[in-house]
Copies of this chain bind each other. A is one copy, B any other.
């Protein structure tokens, strides 16, 4: 399938089958994350792959936005530099964007392998850090649930291109954009 088909087919999955994710599939997903761009190529990201039932249960308990019994999850976070501007950079836009790039690659790499996933931003970071025993300088930014999809929901309502795209100036409609998307 082309990347366009994968992008279109990807849904946020919140209902999973009780069937493990193969290590090979997980590694392909993590490798897709690894190859994402990052600000200044700094790659300050760390990924904790969780496939142990007990740890998964605890991660879920930390995450109100985690739906479904995913058989795997990936905690994605930023490793802050010690000292210097460490604390201040925790919520830096660049670091968070990097995680966004990596996570989208992961979502597409999951979909391409017939797996389902969901990016989850609603979680208690302190709770997650405790569960995975992360050091002080790690900031969890995203929880990624992963597994074999049970129910695949329809595409949620999406704004049309003409609602979200302007040409050369904010508010300037582009006549090439149909109204039908």
Contact = CB atoms under 8 A, between A and B. Distances in A.
Interface residues of A, number: 75
A3 B112 CA distance: 7
Contacts of A132: 166, 168-170
Given A32-B7, A169-B48, A39 B99 contact: no
Chain B CB count within 10 A is highest, among A28, A96, A158, A177, for A96
B107 A37 contact: yes
A168 B52 CA distance: 7
B3 A108 contact: yes
Contacts of A39: 121
A103 interface: yes
Interface in A85-143: 91, 93-94, 96-105, 107-109, 111-112, 119, 121, 132-135, 138, 141-142
Contact of A166 (B49, B105, B156): B49
B47 A164 contact: yes
Contact of A36 (B1, B99, B104, B168): B104
A174 interface: yes
A93 B141 contact: yes
Interface of A: 1-4, 6-8, 10, 12, 23, 27-28, 30-32, 34-37, 39, 41, 43, 45-52, 55, 91, 93-94, 96-105, 107-109, 111-112, 119, 121, 132-135, 138, 141-142, 156-159, 161, 164-171, 174, 176-177, 181
Given A3-B108, A4-B109, A4-B112, 13 more contacts: A1-B2, A3-B109, A23-B176, A46-B166, A48-B166, A51-B167, A55-B168, A55-B169, A96-B97, A102-B104, A108-B108, A133-B171, A135-B170
